[in-house]
């Protein structure tokens, strides 16, 4: 048996734990939590072992367990190992957190079982070596998440979110199935590595562009892009561990799909442009709405909408190594943010009790942007601007706007000197960290993910539009507290708080989601 089959043991362990947990009913089912946590820990150890295999033997594929190109196989490379480590680590943390969070719940065993099943499906997805396994794991992930969203079936909000998520999941699976069918019939293989190799050599028929388009639609639906984002902002009716679990290769599976088929996507520049437009708009929309949300978890959900849009924007600009880096960084941060959301409420209350918050005025915001651009230029020169693609430089400029927003808080006239010093240090560290991680991601995926092609006229236009719009939004975010008392700003805040009613209009277009309560 091929040694590259080792990663397949991780989802197998979690699947067995899921079966065991689902068979145990009642409060505090015996041995369920211990087996689930033990399986997750072993899955993390297997992921670490897969990394060791990759370092010792290099990338490769396991033998196929199946026939006619259909079955199970594991792809071992930098992308799959990164995702294996991420998913298994976050999954283990979420399972440990769920132990106390759901202690005493009547259906704790069922929840633990579906949690393990979701992790098993995602682990199968991120290591898949063939198209049929990809499609099967994609569907299984959606089904397991649907069951978790319905953990409290008596809540009408939970049923509404689950049904809406199910609709988009089914549509996404259909588009992915269409792409799988196109690629397998046109190329005569289901092996993903072979398909990417053909795409890299340019030896693909016209079906490639059509398959890339279907892959893009599936990714957009999976990652809750505008206007299909509504379900993600409504999952607050599910237990908090579900929100954290979504960031373990579930909501960001769309980005993984585009990264895995990066060579195929490069053959369809028009599709990449559409991804950049939709992703960029979703990022801007989510960032603005996030500012107006009064609840911590709802604000985090809108932040995820924005971050997933940014991930799709990166893929649309053909910055696939940076999209992979974004998946890892955002998943770790946001999973922790959801699990610590209760403590965040206490921190916000403590800040409000300590007195008024320093609000930057226009001059402070202007100084912040100038200093942030100076930091960007100085550190960028140190890492070598001449070796970066124009797309990567544009992305760096967009990210530096976030640094400017951070700096503005410390440069406000009423800000204490300690805050000014701290924000300056954090801003410099953020810029250093970005360039360092960007360089590391490009180095780790060199030869595996394609290099970013030279931009054409369309790409230059999209980059310029993205930099300008993100810059304007960053200025608006920094100055938003100054405008909060204005009548026009108050009205806009109400509309933004409701997501400009896009979700409500989508509900109406889809025929409504009212569900009769069970008697």
For residue range 272-321, what is the model confidence (pLDDT) as tens digits?
999 999 999 999 999 889 888 888 888 889 999 999 999 999 999 999 99
345: pLDDT confidence band, cut at 50, 70 and 90?
A: low
Say if residue 330 is in the same domain as residue 371. no
Confidence (pLDDT) at 346: 63
**Mean pLDDT value of segment 160-166:** 88
Say if residue 325 is in the same domain as residue 410. no
410 pLDDT above the threshold of 90: no
Q: What is the pLDDT of residues 236-271, one digit of tens each?
A: 788 889 988 998 889 999 999 999 999 999 999 999
Domain contains 217: yes
Say if residue 119 is in the same domain as residue 177. no
Say if residue 176 is in the same domain as residue 278. yes
Say if residue 261 is in the same domain as residue 321. yes
Domain contains 138: no
Confidence (pLDDT) at 412: 77
Say if residue 164 is in the same domain as residue 103. no
Say if residue 166 is in the same domain as residue 90. no
Domain contains 145: no
Decide: residue 291, CB within 10 A, 0-12 exposed, 13-18 middle, 19+ buried.
Answer: middle
**Mean pLDDT value of segment 172-193:** 93
The Cα 266–Cα 122 span in angstroms is: 25
516: pLDDT confidence band, cut at 50, 70 and 90?
A: very low
Confidence (pLDDT) at 475: 84
364 pLDDT above the threshold of 90: no
The Cα 359–Cα 364 span in angstroms is: 9
Say if residue 430 is in the same domain as residue 475. yes
The Cα 120–Cα 123 span in angstroms is: 5
The Cα 394–Cα 378 span in angstroms is: 16
The Cα 450–Cα 456 span in angstroms is: 17
402 pLDDT above the threshold of 60: yes
Quote the mean pLDDT of the chain. Answer: 87
Q: What is the pLDDT of residues 423-452, one digit of tens each?
A: 888 888 888 888 888 889 989 998 899 999
Residue 65, classed as helix, strand or coil, is strand
Say if residue 314 is in the same domain as residue 172. yes
Number of domains in the chain: 3
Domain contains 147: no
Q: Which domain holds residue 313?
A: 156-337+515-519
Q: Do residues 315 and 258 make contact, with C-beta atoms less than 8 angstroms apart? A: yes
Burial readout 207-229 (b: 16 or more C-beta within 10 A, e: otherwise):
ebbbbbbbbbbbbbbbbbbbbbb
Confidence (pLDDT) at 7: 93
Confidence (pLDDT) at 488: 67
25 pLDDT above the threshold of 50: yes
Domain contains 197: yes
- The last residue of a domain, from among 65, 94, 129: 129
The Cα 439–Cα 430 span in angstroms is: 14
**Mean pLDDT value of segment 161-176:** 93
Residue 355: Cβ within 10 Å count: 7
Q: Which long-range contacts (CB under 8 A, 24 or more apart) does 172-175 make?
A: 172/138, 172/142, 172/217, 172/218, 172/221, 172/222, 173/135, 173/138, 173/139, 173/142, 173/218, 175/214, 175/215, 175/217, 175/218, 175/221
Say if residue 93 is in the same domain as residue 188. no
343 pLDDT above the threshold of 50: yes
Owner of token pair 């509404």: 160
Is the model more confident about 141 or about 491? 141
List the structure tokens of 109: 């065993």
Say if residue 386 is in the same domain as residue 306. no
- The last residue of a domain, from among 129, 146, 176: 129
Is the model more confident about 15 or about 1? 15
Domain contains 409: yes
- The last residue of a domain, from among 114, 129, 144: 129
Domain contains 358: yes
Domain contains 505: no
519: pLDDT confidence band, cut at 50, 70 and 90?
A: very low
Say if residue 79 is in the same domain as residue 199. no
Q: What is the pLDDT of residues 129-144, one digit of tens each?
A: 999 999 999 999 999 9
């Amino acid at each position: 048996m091929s040694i590259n089959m080792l990663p397949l043991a991780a989802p197998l362990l979690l699947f067995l734990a899921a079966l065991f947990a689902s068979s145990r009913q009642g409060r505090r089912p015996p041995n369920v939590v211990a087996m689930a946590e033990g399986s997750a820990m072993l899955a993390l150890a297997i992921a670490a072992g897969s990394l060791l295999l990759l370092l010792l033997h290099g990338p490769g594929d396991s033998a196929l367990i199946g026939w006619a190109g259909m079955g199970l196989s594991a792809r071992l490379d930098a992308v799959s190992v990164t995702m294996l480590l991420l998913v298994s680590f976050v999954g283990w943390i979420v399972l440990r957190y769920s132990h106390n969070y759901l202690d005493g719940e009547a259906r704790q065993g069922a929840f633990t079982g579906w949690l393990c099943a979701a992790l098993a499906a995602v682990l199968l997805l991120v290591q898949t070596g063939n198209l049929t396994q990809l499609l099967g794991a994609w569907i299984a992930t959606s089904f397991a998440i649907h069951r978790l969203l319905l953990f409290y079936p008596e809540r009408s909000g939970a049923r509404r979110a689950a049904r809406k998520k199910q609709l988009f999941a089914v549509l996404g699976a259909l588009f992915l199935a269409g792409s799988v069918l196109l690629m397998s019939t046109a190329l005569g293989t289901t092996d993903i590595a072979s398909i990417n190799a053909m795409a890299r050599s340019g030896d693909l028929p016209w079906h490639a562009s059509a398959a890339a388009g279907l892959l893009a639609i599936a990714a957009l639906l999976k990652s809750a892009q505008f206007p299909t984002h509504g379900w993600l902002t409504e999952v607050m009716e599910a237990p908090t561990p579900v929100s954290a679990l979504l960031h373990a290769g579930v909501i960001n599976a769309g980005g993984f799909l585009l990264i895995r088929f990066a060579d195929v996507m490069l053959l369809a520049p028009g599709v990449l442009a559409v991804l950049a437009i939709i992703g960029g708009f979703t990022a801007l929309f989510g960032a603005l709405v996030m500012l107006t949300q009064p609840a911590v978890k709802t604000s985090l959900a809108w932040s995820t909408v924005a971050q997933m849009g940014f991930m799709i924007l990166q893929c649309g600009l053909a910055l696939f190594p940076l999209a992979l880096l974004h998946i890892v960084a955002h998943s770790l941060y946001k999973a922790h943010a959801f699990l610590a959301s209760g403590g965040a409420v206490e921190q916000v209350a403590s800040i409000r009790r300590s007195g008024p918050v320093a609000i930057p005025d226009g001059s402070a915001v202007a100084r912040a942007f100038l200093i942030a651009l100076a930091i960007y230029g100085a550190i960028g020169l140190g890492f070598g601007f001449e070796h970066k693609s124009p797309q990567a430089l544009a992305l760096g400029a967009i990210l530096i706007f976030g640094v400017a927003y951070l700096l503005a808080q410390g440069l406000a006239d009423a800000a204490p000197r300690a805050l000014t010093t701290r924000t300056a240090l954090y801003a410099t560290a953020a810029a250093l960290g970005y360039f360092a991680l960007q360089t590391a991601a490009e180095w780790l995926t060199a030869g595996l993910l394609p290099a970013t092609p030279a931009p054409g006229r369309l790409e230059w236009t999209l980059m310029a539009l993205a930099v300008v719009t993100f810059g304007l939004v960053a200025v608006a975010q920094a100055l938003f507290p100054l405008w909060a008392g204005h009548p026009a700003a108050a009205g806009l805040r109400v509309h933004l708080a409701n997501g400009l009613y896009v979700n409500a209009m989508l509900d109406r277009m889809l025929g409504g989601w009212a569900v009769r309560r069970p008697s």
